[in-house]
Amino acid sequence: MVCPQCDVETAVFAVPPSLRDYVPSASASASFCPQCLRVRSVDSEPPDDADFGVVGPFFPDGEGGVATALLVGNLDSLALNRSAIEVLAAHAEREGVDLFLVLSRLATVAPEAHVDLDRRLVQLEQLLD
């Protein structure tokens, strides 16, 4: 699937039922753009395993990657999405994701992200403390 905004290949993944509240339209599948870092709901059948290889080798696969992608998709408004961000961060960390390492690497490879990741990292650290 291609991002309609950036025209680049996206990572398409199944969203576990416990995380569907954090996807646009509470969809069972979503896509994550490695360039603008937007998450979009997807109507097509997702692959069996989440593969975030198009994002980069540092991005986690599996459920940890799903939670991380959804968290990034919610970073546009820390105030409105605070509870979602807290739940997704906790879920990613339970799956073994070093969230701040992944986000700092994303900040270097996605200069056209829909949010200023460097600034959000500082705010996110304060929010999650």
What local confidence, expressed as pLDDT, does residue 50 receive? 78
Confidence label for 52 from pLDDT (cuts 50, 70 and 90)? very high
Confidence label for 125 from pLDDT (cuts 50, 70 and 90)? very high
Mean pLDDT of 4-28: 93
3-state secondary structure the chain: CECCCCCCECEEEECCHHHHHHCHHHCCEEEECCCCCCEEECCCCCCCCCCCCCCCCCCCCHHHHHHHHHHHHCCCCCCCCHHHHHHHHHHHHHCCCCHHHHHHHHHHHCCCCCCCHHHHHHHHHHHHC
Mean pLDDT of 51-69: 94
Least confident span in 8-22, 41-55, 105-119: 41-55
pTM of the model: 0.95
